[in-house]
Amino acid sequence: MSLFGPMPRRRPNTRQAVSPVLPALPLALLLALASPRAARADDFLAYKYENYEEPGGRVAVQTQGLSASEDLGADMNFGVTLINDAIAGASPTGAPAPAGSGQVPLAHLEDHRKSWEADFSRRFRMVNVTLGASESREHDYVSRGWSLSTQTDLNEKNTTLLVGVAGHSDDVETFYDPEHVYVGKQSFNAIIGVTQVLDPLTFVSVSATWGHETGFLNDQYKVVAKTVELIPGSFFALVFAENRPGERDTGTLLASVNRAFPSAHAALEASYRFYADTFGITANTVELKWIQKIGGAVTLEPGIRLYEQGAANFYYYNLDGTNIIPTRVPDSSGPHYSSDYRLSSLYGTTYGIKATWKIHDHLQLDVAFNRYDMRGRDGVTPGSAYPSANITSVGARVTW
C-alpha cells in the first residue's frame, strides 16, 4: 500500500501483506511517474507514517516516508521519495497444518528496508516526458528499477495519451545451493492508456499493461510438504523449497471513471481491473471511493476495494496424492509447485476512510484507517493461512 500514490513497495515475498500476483516495482513506478503533472502543480514536502498490523503476532510493518517535488523553471520538475520500513512478526511457511489442527505453521521474520525513488520530467509543448529510477535494499534482497513515460495532450487537452515502459533488476539471496548464494530476477513492463474528458464534470481512463519476468521467481522462504517413504514401511513428512516457473507474462486491463457532483460538494471515483498471467492466475478488482467536502477545509474519503483471484495452476496445499517428486534445489524447468497461500484461490476486501484537513493554503494534515481481510476459496487451505490487518496512517504536506 503506497504512501504517496503508486511507488515501489517491493520486499521479499514473505513480507508482502497484500496481493502478490502483480509485479509491484516496475508497474507501480511507471504509474507513479505517469501521473498527471497537474497533480504536482505545487512544489511540496510531505511526510507520512503508516502502520500495518495483522493480529495474533503476525506481520507488522511500520513505514515512514518523505516525499518532495520541485519545479525547475516553467517546463521541468524533479521529485524524490524516501521510504524506511521496519518489518517484524510471523508468516505462514507453506507447510500444512498438523493433523487435528487448523493452524498452519508460522515462521518469525524481522527485517529493515530502505528505498528511494526519483523522477525528472520535462515538458515539450504538448508532450510531457518523465524518467524515473528507484532502489530498494534489505539484508536479503536488492531491487533496482527504472521507467520512462510520455503523456501527450490531444483534442485541445481533452484527451491525454499515456505510453510508458519500465523494468527492474533484482538480486535475491537463496539458501539451497551454496554455489549460487545470490540469484537474479528481471522484469520489463509496458503500458498504454488514454484519459478522455466527457464533460466538465466527468472523465474516464482506460489502460492496458503487459509484463514479462524472468529469473528466480520463487519466494525463497516458502516450502511445500510431502509424505515420503524413506525406508519400506516408514513414512516421514518432509518439506522442500517451492519451485515456480522461471518465466511469467502478465496482462492487466484497467478502466476508471471520475464524476463530480457540485451540488453535493462531492465526487465519485470508480474503477475495474482485470488481471491474468501465465501462472494461470486470473483476478478481478473493483474499487469505489466517495470524496466529500465538508466546509472549506475538511475532506472525507470513504472507500472500498473488492478483489478475487483464481489459483495458480501449480498451487498445492501439499504434494501428498500427487506424482510430483520435489527436489532439494529449485529448478525452474519443472515440475512446478508452491504452497504459498497467496497463489491460492482467494478473495480480499479493503474498506476504510481518509480525512484531510487543509489548515491553510500551504499546509494540510491527513489521517486514514483501512481494514483488510483475505479469505480462501478452495475449501482446502485452512483459514488460518489468510491474514487480516488494520492499516492506519497520518501525514502532513507543505506546499509553496
Beta bridge partners of 63: 50, 85
- Inside any domain, residue 6: no
Residue 8 confidence (pLDDT) above 50:
no
- Inside any domain, residue 3: no
Residue 163 confidence (pLDDT) above 80:
yes
Q: What is the DSSP letter of 315?
A: B
- Inside any domain, residue 8: no
DSSP class per residue in 342-396: GGSSEEEEEEEEEEEEEEETTEEEEEEEEEEEEEE-SSSS-GGGS-EEEEEEEEE
Residue 248 confidence (pLDDT) above 80:
yes
In which band, very low, low, confident or very high, does the pLDDT at 180 lie, cut at 50, 70 and 90?
low
Beta bridge partners of 249: 212
Per-residue pLDDT, averaged over 108-116, amounts to 96
- Inside any domain, residue 1: no
Amino acid residing at 153: D
pLDDT in tens, 57-105: 999 999 999 999 999 999 999 999 999 999 999 999 999 999 999 999 9
Give CA–CA dist 260/191, Å, rounded.
Answer: 27
Give CA–CA dist 381/316, Å, rounded.
Answer: 9
Is the N-terminal amide bond of 20 cis, ω within 30° of 0?
Answer: no
In which band, very low, low, confident or very high, does the pLDDT at 233 lie, cut at 50, 70 and 90?
confident
- The count of domains in the chain is 1
The per-residue pLDDT for 119 is: 96
- Inside any domain, residue 162: yes
- Inside any domain, residue 302: yes
The per-residue pLDDT for 4 is: 34
Task: Provide the 3-class DSSP secondary structure of residue 38.
Answer: helix
In CATH, what number is assigned to the domain containing residue 337? 2.40.160.40
pTM: 0.89
Cell of 18: 497484500
The per-residue pLDDT for 366 is: 98
- Inside any domain, residue 2: no
Residue 32 confidence (pLDDT) above 60:
no
β-pair type (127-138, 141-154): antiparallel
Give CA–CA dist 321/67, Å, rounded.
Answer: 52
- Inside any domain, residue 253: yes
In which band, very low, low, confident or very high, does the pLDDT at 176 lie, cut at 50, 70 and 90?
confident
Residue 200 sits in which domain range? 13-399
CB 330 within 8 Å of CB 247: no
* Phi/psi at 180 (5° precision): -135, 75
The per-residue pLDDT for 229 is: 83
| Percent above pLDDT 90 for the chain | 84
Q: What share of the chain is helix, strand, coil (3-state, %, to 5)?
A: 5, 60, 30
- Of 7-11, 167-171, 301-305, 372-376, which gets the smallest average pLDDT? 7-11
pLDDT in tens, 305-331: 999 999 999 999 999 999 999 998 899
In which band, very low, low, confident or very high, does the pLDDT at 300 lie, cut at 50, 70 and 90?
very high
More confident site: 35 or 66: 66
